[in-house]
Amino acid sequence: MYNLLLLLKITNYFMQTDFSLKDYNSFHFNVKTRYFETLKDPAYLKNAIINREFDTDNLFILGGGSNVFFRDNFHGLVLHPVGKEIEVIEENEAYIVLEVSAGYDWDEFVAWTVEKGYCGLENLSLIPGQVGAAPIQNIGAYGVEVKDYITVVKGIYLDTGADFEIPAEACRFDYRDSIFKHELRGKVFISHMQLRLNKQPDFNISYGQLEEQLKGTEITQQAIRDAVIEIREQKLPDPDVIGNAGSFFKNPIVQKAQYDFLKSQYPEIKAYPAGNDMMKISAAWMIDNARWKAYRVGDAGVHPKQALVLVNYGMAKPRDIMSLAEQIRKDILFKFGIELEMEVRLV
C-alpha cells in the first residue's frame, strides 16, 4: 500500500484518487487508476526512491497514452510527465545535439525542429505521444526511425533512484523495439533523450507514398512535414474523434524463403526488404486480404481506410477490442502462417 506522504513528496502536489484515464489513453477507455499525478520534475521521483522505500511494482509512467492499451483499471500510481525543456548540448556548422525532456509532445517537438531548420525528424511528423515514449517504441514512419538520430537516452532506475545514460548503440534498437521493452521494461523512468540533427538538408523521401506525394513540389523540410501530415490525415483516424492507438500490429519480418512461398500463393502481397535475407510483410495487406478491413462488431472495429488500425467507435471496452484483435491474429495465422505481434503496449 502506498504511503500518501511519500506520494506527495514525489509530485509535490495533492494526489488524485480513483482517477479516470479516459482522456489519457487514445482508445478513450474509461478505466481508472487508484492514484494519478503529473510529474513536472523527475528529481521528486528520484529523491523519493533514494530516501524512502518505494513500491515500483504498482507504478506506471504514462506519456501521451497513444500506444498504451489498458486492459482494466490500474491498481496503483500513474505518473504523467509534463516537463517541457529543450537544451543545446553541442553545435557546429554541420549538426546540433539537443536534449529534450520526456514530457514534450512529440509532434510539437518535431514542428519546433522544422521551424529551426534542424533536419531529420520531419518524416516522423504527426506521430502522437510524448518524447519519452519515442525510444521505447523506436518510433518510425516513411523510411525514418528515431534511432537514426538518438545519441543518448537518460533517466532514473526505479529500484535505486540512480541516474542512467545509455548510448544509442546500447539501446538495442530494432523495428519498433528497444531494450526498454525487454530487460528494462518497467524498471526505468526515461526523463530525457539526446538527438543529433543535421543543420544541412539531408532529406529522406525514398518511401514510395511520400515520394509520390511530393512529386512536382520543391523538396524542403517543411514540404516533407506537410506531405507526411497530409498522408497520415488521409488514412489514419484522429484519436480525438475515433479512439485508436494507430497501428495495432507490427509488420512481421520473415525469411525471404517464406516470403517467396507466400508470393507464389498471393502474387499481389506487399513486402519490403529488411536486410539479412529477410522481408517485412505488410500486415495491413494481409488483414485487408483476409477481409477484416472495415469490419465492425458493436463499437469495436477495423478502420475502413487502414486495416492496421483497430478503433473504438464510442463505447467499446478493452475486452471488445482485444477479442477482435485475437480473432484477426488467429485468422492471419491460419491463412498465411504468420503470427501477428501487437505493437500496442498492454497494461
Write the CB contacts of 163 (distance below 8 Å, at least 6 apart in sequence).
46, 154, 155, 156, 157
Catalytic-role residue among 34, 176, 196, 225: 176
CA 25 – CA 78 distance, rounded (Å): 12
CA distance 125 to 70: 25
Is 345 assigned a catalytic role? no
Q: Which residue, 194, 225, 199, is CA-closest to 85? A: 194
**Catalytic option among 26, 66, 101, 247:** 247
Instruction: State yes or no: is 176 an active-site residue.
Output: yes
**246-258 in b/e burial notation, b at 16+ Cβ within 10 A?**
bbbbbbbbbeeeb
Q: Which three cell numbers stand for residue 336?
A: 498465411
Q: Which residues pair with 119 in a beta bridge?
A: 198
Give the pairing of strands 345-346 and 68-69. parallel
206 belongs to the catalytic site? no
Of the candidates 140, 135, 110, 121, the residue with the CA atom closest to the CA atom of residue 190:
135
Q: How far is Cα of residue 103 from the mean position of the Cα atoms in its chain?
A: 14
* Cβ-proximal residues to 169 (8 Å cutoff; 6+ apart), any chain: none
| Backbone phi and psi for residue 335, each to the nearest 5 degrees, phi listed first | -80, -40
**How far is residue 308 from each of residues 12, 237, 311, measured CA to CA in Å?**
41, 11, 10
* Residues with catalytic roles: 176, 247, 343
